[in-house]
Amino acid sequence: MKKPAYLLLFPGALFLAVFMVVPIATIILSTFANDGSVSLAGYTSFFTDSYTLGILGTTLKISLISTLICILLGYPTAYYISRTSVSRRGIYLALAIFPLLTSAIVRSFSWMVTLGKTGLINTLLLQLHVIDKPLQILYTETSIIIGMVHLFLPLMIISLIGVMENIDGDLMQAAASLGASRFKAFVKVVLPLSIPGLLVGSTLVLVGSLTAYATPQLLGGKKRVLATLLFQNTMTLNDWKAASIIATIMIAITFLLIGVMNALAKKLNPNG
Amino acid sequence: MALIELKNITVAYDQKHNILENFNLSVEEGEFVSLLGPSGCGKTTTLRLIAGFNEAKDGQFLFKGQDYTKVPVHKRAFGFVFQSHALFPHLSVYDNVAFGLKLRKTDAKQIRTKVMDILEAVNLKGFENRYPSQLSGGQRQRVAIARSLVIQPDLLLFDEPLSSLDANLRVQMRMEIRRIQQELKVTTVYVSHDQEECFSISDKVAIMNKGVIEQLDTPPLIYKKPKTEFVARFVGFENILPMTGSGEGAAPLKAKDGTPFVVEGAAGMKGTVKCAIRPDDIRIAKDGEERGADNSTAGRIQVTTYLGRGYQYVVETAIGEFLVNSHGEAPFGHGETVRLDFPPDKLVPVD
């Protein structure tokens, strides 16, 4: 008799259950416990404290801006790569993915060297007399965003190329033969057909930058985001309950975002 | 004046190799012309050049006497039906068909009437809300045709539109294409490598080989009187018989062993004359039966194969090997000697 195929899932599922589902459930449950009774006190204080709310806002803002920049930079790049010949595409794709092969920490350090007061950009601008005192770029939201875009742009490009490659070249020619200029054909055919890739890429970048730790820690200076606030609560303040609440909120936001993206994907599904 | 005219067109696909060289073609208004030939003969290149997808390195493309060589695709108003159908997967049947009309800023009411009319013409009424992924191959093809017809194109171009369909559907669809074309009287250029398909629906067929049109004629003329050896072989004249003509009036041609051959239309031909004949047109009989001295030769059966409606033989003779079909019941056996007869009106002199 044939054994049910789902048994193949068992080892992986067991591993995830023991080392992921149980710990996360424990963390989430612990945030509702208050001296033996169930309470939402931790959450009310998080959502009423202007300091933590500010950090939540900063985190969302940085993630959204990073995602937007990734779309703006990644879309034309991906479109160009997807239209080149197969052999060239491989080379371009490898180049696009290349940054992923370096650790986020190493990359953040290189940005510190580049953006700092005596860094490459400030030195250059000073010598060209464009500015007369160094710009504060490092340790601002801007530097975090730069780091995030650098970190996540490859994900956006890969997601987009995956979808764009499968857009039949005949479609553009068909549109042209029906009277569409290149621009019109792009807007009416390529854009709607690449939306699934855009949504997948945006989800990856958004969730990635919402939860990134190393980049904001190294490039953000005193600027806090949720991930660094969480770290501060555990390691510096030893407030594990507050940290668990932040963790739970981050999980909730992530699921919410994925849900919204899925709903959008369903609504905008190019195949009806 | 011809509706479209290609004059001395040269198309190259890299620096060195030309696909078309000094290519000429003209199509009259309302005509259905097919370009037929083996793959790599340049037929699709010609079609794409007319559409504007390919650019000519040299030469001129005239449309209604105007120079269209450099006019971009989207300003040509030629309908193009792709082999892959190229339907927009994110649009419904209705929106696919309405695509060209919307670009022309037609008002919504008129779009609705036109789209519904054309969908009715291609028997797709009731399918307007479906998406391409929910249609069969034949239905998709009809949407593609409707989409390019609804803009009332000056010219309709087909690039092997039926090759992705199964055999039964192909026959049905080609009748449909012909019906629609005749109904709307739209000038059509059609590319295919399927001989039967081209012959059945075209007013004229251009047989292409290596970037050159070998013959442009009506299908019956090509079928009966091919002009070149390539065309002859392409349309099923599998036997080519080389002979010599004396150049004198009505004197028969001579095969290499001296046998005289009377060939219709070969009077006065001088030097080497190749004559083509179909396997079906050579008469095969037992050796020894009484035959005239002309147009006849003795041979020996090499191979016998069964075709269903009859038998096919490879016969070796003093003047070459021939492929012969017979409808007779009792087949000749291997090695049997036979007599082959070549009717004068079935031998066609070719270049």
pLDDT at A194: 93
Same domain, B246 and B169: no
List the CATH number of the domain containing B40: 3.40.50.300
Name chain A contacts of B99, Cβ cutoff 8 Å.
175, 178, 180, 188
A33 or B34: which carries more pLDDT confidence? B34
Same domain, B300 and B152: no
| Mean pLDDT of chain A, nearest integer | 91
Q: What is the mean pLDDT of residues A7-34?
A: 91
* Domain's final residue, options B229, B244, B278: B229
Q: Cα separation of A151 and B134, whole Å?
A: 40
Q: Cα separation of B6 and B29, whole Å?
A: 14
Q: Cα separation of A259 and A53, whole Å?
A: 23
CA distances from B139 to A7, A158, B130, B142, B182 (A): 43, 35, 11, 5, 20
Question: Which of B51, B100, B131 has the CB atom closest to A179's CB atom?
Answer: B100
Same domain, B185 and B312: no
For the segment B27-37, what is each residue's pLDDT rounded down to a tens digit? 999 999 999 99
Give the angle B220-B224-B228 at the CA atoms, nearest 5°: 110
CA distances from A4 to A17, A194, B139, B192, B324 (A): 21, 37, 40, 50, 61
Q: What is the mean pLDDT of residues B176-182?
A: 88
For chain A, which residues lie within 8 Å of any Cβ of chain B, measuring from their own Cβ?
Answer: 168, 170-171, 173-181, 184-185, 188-189, 192-193, 270-272
Q: Cα separation of B93 and B99, whole Å?
A: 10
Same domain, B205 and B303: no
Q: Does B100 touch chain A (CB under 8 A)?
A: yes
| Mean pLDDT of chain B, nearest integer | 89
Residues in chain A: 272
Best probe of the B interface among A164, A168, A172, A178, by most B CBs < 10 A, is A178
Residue B220 has pLDDT above 90, yes or no: yes
Residue A163: strand, helix, or coil:
helix
Would you place residue A37 in the very low, low, confident or very high pLDDT band (cuts 50, 70, 90)? confident
Under DSSP, the state recorded for B238 is -
Task: Give the side-chain half-sphere CA count within 13 A for A20.
Answer: 7
Is ipTM strictly over 0.90?
no
Same domain, B128 and B210: yes
* Domain's final residue, options B229, B251, B268: B229
CB B99 to CB A178 under 8 A? yes
pLDDT at B170: 86
Residue B175 has pLDDT above 60, yes or no: yes
Same domain, B210 and B313: no
Q: Cα separation of B301 and B323, whole Å?
A: 10
Q: Cα separation of A117 and A241, whole Å?
A: 38
Question: Which of B73, B76, B90 has the CB atom closest to A270's CB atom?
Answer: B90
Residue A270 has pLDDT above 70, yes or no: no
Q: What is the mean pLDDT of residues A121-137?
A: 90
CB B89 to CB A193 under 8 A? yes
Name chain A contacts of B100, Cβ cutoff 8 Å.
178-179
CB B151 to CB A181 under 8 A? no
The sheet that has B155-159: what strands, in order across it?
Answer: B78-81, B155-159, B188-192, B32-36, B204-209, B212-217
Q: What is the mean pLDDT of residues A167-176?
A: 93
Residue A68: strand, helix, or coil:
helix
Residue A196 has pLDDT above 80, yes or no: yes
CB A271 to CB B133 under 8 A? yes
CB A272 to CB B90 under 8 A? yes
For the segment B271-309, what is each residue's pLDDT rounded down to a tens digit? 888 999 999 999 888 876 666 668 888 888 999 898 888
pLDDT at A46: 92
Same domain, B221 and B115: yes
For the segment B13-27, what is each residue's pLDDT rounded down to a tens digit? 777 778 888 899 999
Same domain, B340 and B259: yes
Name chain A contacts of B148, Cβ cutoff 8 Å.
177-178
Q: What is the mean pLDDT of residues A9-38?
A: 90
pLDDT at B253: 86
Q: What is the mean pLDDT of residues A220-239?
A: 91
Residue B65 Ramachandran class (φ > 0 left, ψ -120 to 50 alpha, else beta) = left
CB B148 to CB A180 under 8 A? no
Question: Which of B72, B100, B134 has the CB atom closest to A178's CB atom?
Answer: B100
Would you place residue A271 in the very low, low, confident or very high pLDDT band (cuts 50, 70, 90)? low
Residues 12-71 of B with CB under 8 A from A: 51-53
Same domain, B30 and B140: yes
For the segment B189-219, what is each residue's pLDDT rounded down to a tens digit? 999 988 999 999 999 999 999 888 999 999 9
Same domain, B159 and B106: yes
Question: Which of A174, A180, A189 has the CB atom closest to B82's CB atom?
Answer: A174
Considering Cα of B41, then B44, then B48, then B54, what sign does the dihedral take?
Answer: negative
Name chain B contacts of A174, Cβ cutoff 8 Å.
80, 82, 86-88, 147
Question: Which of A174, A184, A193 has the CB atom closest to B80's CB atom?
Answer: A174
Counting the structural domains of chain B, the total is: 2
Q: What is the mean pLDDT of residues B178-197?
A: 90
Q: Does B84 touch chain A (CB under 8 A)?
A: yes
Residue B314: strand, helix, or coil:
strand
What element of type H or E holds B18? strand B18-27
Neighbours of B213 (CB within 10 A): 19
pLDDT at B298: 86
pLDDT at B290: 61
pLDDT at A164: 94
Q: What is the mean pLDDT of residues A177-201?
A: 93
List the CATH number of the domain containing B325: 2.40.50.140
Best probe of the B interface among A163, A173, A177, by most B CBs < 10 A, is A177
The sheet that has B58-63: what strands, in order across it?
Answer: B18-27, B4-12, B58-63, B66-67
Same domain, B51 and B182: yes
CB A271 to CB B51 under 8 A? no
pLDDT at A259: 93
pLDDT at B172: 86
Best CA proximity match to B342, nearest among B257, B247, B240: B240
pLDDT at B104: 92
Q: What is the mean pLDDT of residues B42-56?
A: 91
Residue A174 has pLDDT above 90, yes or no: yes
Domain covering A52-268 in this structure, CATH number:
1.10.3720.10
Best probe of the A interface among B81, B88, B94, by most A CBs < 10 A, is B88
Residue A163 has pLDDT above 90, yes or no: yes
Which chain B residue has the Cα nearest residue A268?
Answer: B90
Would you place residue B323 in the very low, low, confident or very high pLDDT band (cuts 50, 70, 90)? very high
For the segment B250-280, what is each residue's pLDDT rounded down to a tens digit? 778 888 888 888 888 877 788 888 999 999 9
Give the angle A189-A191-A197 at the CA atoms, nearest 5°: 120
pLDDT at B326: 87
Place of tokens 């035959």: B291
Q: What is the mean pLDDT of residues B233-246?
A: 88
Residue A112 has pLDDT above 70, yes or no: yes
CB B147 to CB A178 under 8 A? yes
Same domain, B108 and B151: yes
The answer to whether B167 touches B9, Cβ cutoff 8 Å, is no
pLDDT at B307: 85
Q: How far apart are the first and last CA of chain B?
A: 30
Under DSSP, the state recorded for B310 is S
Q: Cα separation of B342 and B296, whole Å?
A: 6
Interface A-B, measured as beta-carbon pairs within 8 A, has a size of: 73
Q: What is the mean pLDDT of residues B142-150?
A: 92
Give the angle B222-B228-B233 at the CA atoms, nearest 5°: 75
* Domain's final residue, options B229, B253, B268: B229
The two structure tokens encoding residue A86: 């197969």
pLDDT at B292: 65
pLDDT at B289: 62
Under DSSP, the state recorded for A242 is H
Bridge partners (DSSP) listed for residue B158: B81, B190
Residue-range definition of the domain harbouring residue B181: 4-229
- Phi and psi at residue B190, to the nearest 5°: -130, 130
